[in-house]
Structure 1
Amino acid sequence: MRNRCALRPEEFELLALLGRYAGEAVARERLMAQVWDENWFGSTKALDVTMAGLRRRLAEAADSSPRPVRLPLITTLRGHGYRLEDG
């Protein structure tokens, strides 16, 4: 049986985009343009809040799993963006 983790649409898109570029640094601007769209006029804090939510939901899913689960490691690259670590 697979573990399931309910993600909001932006969380899913963010994880999918980071997954496409696993091991590579992805700039905040690129994430904002591709996840929210290039015409987003809100604060870039939306990215930080969504990332925090994504990390929290992944951790909660892992904690509720009957078996040990290895979480994807998402590294914050201060002043640049994020990276989903390979392996």
Structure 2
Amino acid sequence: MDTRARTCVLGGEEVPLRPKEFDLLSVLAAHAGTAVSREDLMAQVWDENWFGPTKTLDVTLASLRRRLAQTAARTEPRADPPNISTLRGFGYRLETDRLETDRG
């Protein structure tokens, strides 16, 4: 990830991410290997004044995972997408294996 250019490259191909998907991945990458609560993700990606349902987070994360997997499937040789683990009842964690980030 290049946070300054707001790009994410996987297997040599840029992943087409929507703004909230990029923001979500950026927060998870900044805390790679660490559990991030749903509340913290909502506050950092949408802001602490968001009054909508947290289902928004689930939908955005599902879309992010799908885009990463689709891009990985198009690369040759096939790249492995980053693994975002669901921590039931708490939040999510971006696993640190195969992760390269430029936090600018």
TM-score (norm 2): 0.80
Tell me the amino acid that sits aligned with residue 43 of structure 1: P
User: Which of the pair is proportionally richer in helix?
Assistant: 1
Q: Among residues 26, 31, 37, which one is paired with 2:47 in the alignment?
A: 37
Asked whether 1:23 is paired with 2:38, we answer: no
- Quote how far apart the aligned CAs of 1:15 are: 0.5
- Quote how far apart the aligned CAs of 1:64 are: 1.3
Alignment gaps of 5+ in structure 2: 1-10, 98-104
- Quote how far apart the aligned CAs of 1:86 are: 1.3
Report what 1:49 is aligned to: 59
Q: Please list every run of at least 4 consecutive aligned residues from structure 1 whose deviation after the TM superposition is greater than 2 angstroms.
A: none
Report what 2:21 is aligned to: 11
Across the aligned residues of Structure 1 and Structure 2, the Cα RMSD in angstroms comes to 1.1
TM-score (norm 1): 0.95
Alignment length, in residue pairs? 87
CA distance in structure 1 between the partners assigned to 2:60 and 2:75 by the alignment: 23
